[in-house]
Amino acid sequence: MWEDLQTCVFDAPFVVIAVAQEGRGAEQARPWIERVRPSYPCLIDDEHRVSALYGMVNVPQCVWIDERGVIVRPPETAGSTDHFRRMDLETRTLAPELAAEREVSRTAYFDAVRAWVRTGRHALPGDAARARLPVITAAMAMAEALFRLGLHLRRAGQGAEAAEHFAEASRLHPESWCIFRDAQQLEPSGFAGGAAFWERVRALGDKPYYPPPVL
C-alpha cells in the first residue's frame, strides 16, 4: 500500500519513510520488506525510537511532515480500521462486506495523503496540529526507559528479566500496543496475535484499537 503511494506521479517531491518498530531487529523485519521490495526507505528501529520521539502507541501510525520539516499532521492511524475485531478467528478472514468497508476507509486515507502532496490539503495549521499532539506523561517516559532496558536485556539473552521490565512498562503505559506487541513471545508463524492479544483487544470494550483519523 505504501508502494502505491510512493509510485504515484506527483509534481512535488514526496517520500514515504516506513520505520519498522521491531525490537528483534532487521531479521524479523526482513521477510516483510523483501516481499514488498519497496522503492522508499524502509528503516529498522529496534529500540522503537520513533515511537518514543513522536508519542506513537500502535502500528501503523503516520506523521505528515512538510518540506520544512514541520509536522502538519501528528501521529494518527494510517488507514487501518477496527474491522479486524470482527474477524473469524478460525479462518482469520473478514466477511466480504466488512472487508469492503475497511477498504473504503483505507482508500480515503491514502487519497487524503495524495491530496496533501498535490495541493497541501489536509495539512493542519500550527494550533490545530498542536491540539492533536499526544501528551507524554512521566509514567510514559518511565515506560519508555523500562521498555528500552527490556529490549537490551532480551538481545543479551536475559529474556526472563526483560519480561519483568516489559510488564512494568506495559503497566505504566497501557495505551501502548507497541510495547505490548514487542514484548510478546512469537509463535512459529512469526506472529504473536495469540490469546493474550485478543484478550487485551476485547478489554478495550467500546474504545477503538485504531482511532480513526479526522480528515
Partner 1 sequence: MAGQGIMAVVLSETGTHAVPSDGGLRLAPEDAARVTGWTLKPEGMCREELCVPLDGAMLAGGRVDVAAFWRQLGHPVASDRAGETWVLGAEAEARNVALAGLEAPDFALPDLGGTMHRLSDYRGQKVLLTTWASW
- In the region spanning residues 119 to 148, those forming contacts with partner 1, defined by CB under 8 A, are 126, 129-130, 133-138, 140-142, 144-146, 148
Three-class SS of 124-181: CCHHHHHHCCCCCCHHHHHHHHHHHHHHHHHHCCCHHHHHHHHHHHHHHCCCCHHHHH
Binders of partner 1 among residues 82 to 101 (CB under 8 A) are: none
- Identify the CA nearest to 29 among candidates 201, 182, 199: 182
DSSP H or E stretch at residue 42: strand 42-45
Please select the residue that binds partner 1; options are 33, 94, 98, 163, rule is CB under 8 A. Answer: 33
Q: Which is nearer to partner 1, 66 or 103 (CB)?
A: 66
Count of residues of this chain found to bind partner 1 when the rule CB under 8 A is applied: 82
183 near partner 1 (CB under 8 A): no
Q: Which is nearer to partner 1, 96 or 125 (CB)?
A: 125
Binders of partner 1 among residues 9 to 28 (CB under 8 A) are: 12-22, 26, 28
Cell numbers that stand for 141 in this block = 517516559
Please select the residue that binds partner 1; options are 65, 100, 204, 215, rule is CB under 8 A. Answer: 65
Q: From the CB of residue 67, how many other CB atoms can be counted at a distance below 10 Å? A: 8
